A and B are shown apart, each in its own frame.
Chain A
Amino acid sequence: MKRKDSEIQDTIENRDRIHVVMFFLGLLFLALAVVILARVVIIQTTYSVDNSVIGLFRPRIQKHTEVPVRGRILACDGRPMALSAPLYDIYMDCTVLKQEFVDRNDPDGERLWRKKADTLAYYLSNQFRDRTAQQYRDLIINGRERGSRNVRIQRNIDLATLNIVETFPLFKEGPYRGGIIVRPHEERIYPYDSLARRVIGYVKDSIRIGLENNFDYVLHGREGYEWRRVTDDKQWIRDLDSNRVRAIDGNDIRTTINVDFQDIADRALRTRIAEDDDIRAGIVIIMEASTGAIRAMVNLSRGNTPQTTLWERENIALREVGEQGSVMKTVSLLSLVEDGYVTNLEQTIPTNNGFVQGYRQDVHILDYQNETGRRDISVMHGFEISSNYVFTYLAENYYGSNPSEFFDHIYSYRLGEAFDFDISGLGTPVVNRPGTPSWSRTSLGTTAYGYGISVTPLHVATFYNAIANKGRMMKPYLVEDIEKDGRVITTFEPMVLNNICSRATADTVTRALRQVVVNGTATRLRGAKLNVAGKTGTAQVVLSSQERNGSTDPYHDINGRKKNQGTFVGFFPSENPKYTILVTVYSYLSGRSFYGGTIPALVVRDVVDQIYAIDGSWNNTLRPANANVPVLDSRVATSDNGQIPDVRGLGLREAIYSMESSGYRCTYEGSGHVSSQTPAAGSTLAAGETVRLVLR
């Protein structure tokens, strides 16, 4: 019983203890609630932001976006045609320390700052040479007096220049004391300036053209991000507690463009066009016959007036859909030979004074009759002199009853559609075929000699390339592969579009094209260093109503002026074609005529002669019968015994190679060949030390 009372007593005491603890806890929470409530009321009614406190509430970590490096666009030999690097704009906060000097009543400090600004102005003037030192000084001091915090000093300077500028007085003191503000912006560098710029293209804001646009998904890469936190030393470092997505740099694309060919073609065209103010634009396409790889694509044009600079303004080769004139006679000849209507190029047709019923008379036939006294003409000669009559006659005679047979050929030559191409914007051809509203009784004949069908220059080049490739039409392409750090990821193989004719037909037409150069309208190419086969074409361009200015003739304005385009398209060497070339020039409104056998043929000749010398396919090999050929030792002197090699007389590349192979570093000045070196050759120098070269 006693024991039971004691247990009851313990239980009561235990409960008392719990009650007391709970009472105090309740009291504590009540007090806290009162404090919180009071604090809420105070904050809501009286609290205002205290700047000294704000800093404590700033996030201690920040999200930093990692921008990927855009991939490069490479020429076929790996030389970069477009690459990315930042350029820098330099601004200046001219008000730095100004208020501090006032607050500290420190006029000497202000004077010293301005003195440094004078020196800075002198250095800036020397560096950029766009303003005098006084002008730079005025810019900075006036900015300081106006309280300007963002005075532009220079734009678009490279890293090397920035590094120099950052050593200038005042600027070397940094942004808070020297006021320098550097704003980098990623820019695309085009080492070859305007060369192939329409092919390379660009992506800027909403303007997106060329390979830069079509392969943007490859070149761009993927943005990444990381969270950064600030250390006790005020340095921003990666926050390891947060996740991170690494940026993936863009891949490179290797194009089919041969920079040397592009350069040759650009220069040849530029030189010829520059001589004639009536020419508005010109294009060159060079295509590899066996693959369809485009080795050069030049698109030079002037602006609205001849005084404007020749520049790659628009991709005419791709977009300009127009009647190509006599170069399309090859389409007719190929069809006639393939269908067996022309079995022999020497087969003749009657001249009929150049008349085909319903068509305009071909006066060239009258000249031919007068010169030769003959009343018949061979198909070959008609092709050589580019007779409209001959091809109208042949078309009407063989396809007149079934024009669709002829137009089926045109479609099989891919001249009626815009095929897929590495750059978007390839123009869609317009074919005036049977059954369309524009079809008329003369449509067959006019199409046979090059009117009534509108295509782009690239279509024409692709067609001629098929003849050069013995009937196999290759799809033209501009991108060979996609690469990552020099490793090929994806390769684009050459593709066959169609087999357009037999090998025998291609050989026959090639013979005709060769005769055009030997005896016909392209004799300016007769002396080219490689045999060229091809066709000239001259076409009048349909004028807009504004250009016609009231004239009812679609090809002439009211003053009788017209717009011409002259083309030469062919391939070389004709006996074993390696390259197809097309050159077209376009005129302004002019009273003159421009023929494919003049400027375009001359451009082709310049290009062919230069490609012949540098391509490597036509190198000569000498194998002396009874003598050993001395081996030219191209190795340059190197040293591994601690003595400096003698590099005098060498070019810069060889000299640097020699020095670096010997373990030394180099600095140099001047250009030409090494005329002296310090320390002298043969003296001893520790590896890693620098040798100074002077070139003259």
Chain B
Amino acid sequence: MRAGDIWQAIKNSIKALRNGEFLLRVRADKLYLHIMYLFLLMWLSIMLSLQVDKTLTKAGENKATIEQMRIHHAEKEAALVKVRSASATQLRLSRMGSEASMPTEPATILKNH
């Protein structure tokens, strides 16, 4: 193969590209379905990738929300446990001027026979 032939091939290719005939020259029309299929796959790939990003972003947000709920639950639980202790209840009652206090006798259970 001579250099002149190569140069001629390059020139023809550029000319074909300019005229929009490159794919026809290489008989790509035979591969039209494959090319369309390739583009479909690429589009699907990009779209799925974006959807995955979106889903993972949402998952991250949900995770943060769950974590916030956990913290909220822990704080509430601690606060409720604190006010339910016998000492705290007695203190609250005495501050309210109540005469109620801890039981001094055990409970009496009523039973049917």
A residues neighboring B (CB under 8 Å): 13, 16-17, 20-21, 69, 79-80, 83-86, 158-160, 189, 191-193, 195, 231-233, 235-238, 240, 259-260, 263-264, 266-267, 609-610, 612-616, 618-624, 628-629
Contacts and interface: CB of A to CB of B under 8 A. Distances in A.
B66 to A, nearest CB: 11
Contacts of A233: 53, 57
B106 A612 contact: yes
Contacts of B59: 237-238
B19 interface: no
Contacts of A189: 74-75, 78
B103 A628 contact: no
Contact of B104 (A231, A235, A238, A613): A613
Contacts of A160: 72, 75
A235 B87 contact: no
The binding surface of chain A is classed by DSSP as mixed
Given A83-B77, A189-B78, 16 more contacts: A20-B1, A69-B70, A85-B70, A85-B74, A86-B71, A158-B75, A159-B68, A159-B71, A189-B74, A191-B77, A191-B78, A236-B60, A237-B56, A613-B102, A614-B103, A621-B108
Contacts of B113: 623
A623 B102 contact: no
Contacts, number: 112
A267 B90 CA distance: 11
Interface in B51-73: 52-53, 56-57, 59-60, 68, 70-72
B99 interface: no
Interface in B63-102: 68, 70-72, 74-75, 77-79, 81-82, 85-87, 102
A629 B77 CA distance: 37
6 contacts: A84-B74, A189-B75, A237-B56, A612-B106, A621-B109, A622-B109
Given A240-B52, A622-B108, A622-B110, A267 B1 contact: no
A235 B59 CA distance: 12
Nearest to A228: B60
Nearest to A184: B71
Interface of B: 1-3, 6, 52-53, 56-57, 59-60, 68, 70-72, 74-75, 77-79, 81-82, 85-87, 102-113
Contacts of B57: 231, 233, 235, 237
A508 B112 CA distance: 41
Interface centre among B3, B56, B59, by most chain A C-beta atoms within 10 angstroms, is B56
A20 B6 contact: yes
A21 B3 CA distance: 9
Nearest to B69: A159
A690 B1 CA distance: 87
A83 B75 CA distance: 9
A192 B81 contact: yes
B56 A263 contact: no
Contact of A619 (B2, B86, B102, B109): B109
B112 A192 contact: no
A236 B108 CA distance: 62
User: Ordered nearest first, which 3 A-B pairs have the shortest CB separation?
Assistant: A17-B1, A237-B56, A85-B74
B45 to A, nearest CB: 14
Nearest to A195: B85
A236 B104 CA distance: 60
Contacts of B86: 260, 263-264
A85 B107 contact: no
A191 B76 CA distance: 10
